[in-house]
Amino acid sequence: MKIVAVTACPTGIAHTYMAAARLEKIAKNLGHEIKVETQGAMGVENKLTENDIRRAQIVIFAVDIEVEGRERFNGVKVIQVSLQEALKNPEGIFAKIQR
């Protein structure tokens, strides 16, 4: 499955990037293709292009704050979870997707 994700937390220094790494790792293990945009204190990094979003079957928002540019994802199926969940139980998120 082709997946895109956005991670963001209020401080945007550690958890944003840890969650991104977790999601990437688990997705790869499960054989998904994933690209994760981080919205941290440095601003938006690894920005999802229009093409990335159009091709994606699902978007994961692992965020504790509002997603920047949410309108970009209009028309794509979205699953929103807290950042904690992405850190503690990323497998659960992917299990939810596959159902």
Partner 1 sequence: MLELLTNLRKHLLTGVSFAIPFIACGGMLIAFAIAFAPMTPAGPDFSHTPRLKLLWDIGTLSLTLMLPVLAGYISYSIAGKPGLLPGFLGGYLSAEIQAGFLGAMLVGLLAGYLVEALKKVPVSKHLRPIMPILVIPIVSGALIGVLMIKVLGGPIALLMEHGTSALRSMSTGNNVVLALLLGAMIAFDMGGPVNKTAFFFGAAMIREGNYQVMGACAAAICTPPLGMGLATLLRKNLWSTEEREAGLAGIVMGLIGITEGAIPFAAADPLRVIPSIMAGSAVAAVVAMVGGVGDHAPHGGPVVLPVVDHRLMYVFAILTGTLVTAILTVLLKARAQKMTERRDEAA
Q: List binders of partner 1 among 2-21 (CB under 8 A).
A: 11-14
Specify the DSSP element, H or E, that contains 62: strand 58-63
Nearer to partner 1, 13 or 95 (CB): 13
Nearer to partner 1, 32 or 72 (CB): 72
Q: What is the DSSP string of 13-76?
A: SSHHHHHHHHHHHHHHHTT-EEEEEEEETTEEESPPPHHHHHH-SEEEEEESSPPTTGGGGTTS
Q: Which residues are catalytically annotated?
A: 9
Nearer to partner 1, 40 or 90 (CB): 40
Q: What are phi and psi of 46, to 5 degrees?
A: 50, 50
Between 17 and 46, how does the x/- string for binding to partner 1 read (CB under 8 A)? Answer: -----------------------xxxxx--
CB of 39 to partner 1, least distance (A): 8
The radius of gyration of the chain's CA atoms, rounded to the nearest angstrom, is 12
CB of 91 to partner 1, least distance (A): 27
Residues in contact with partner 1 by the rule CB under 8 A: 11-14, 40-44
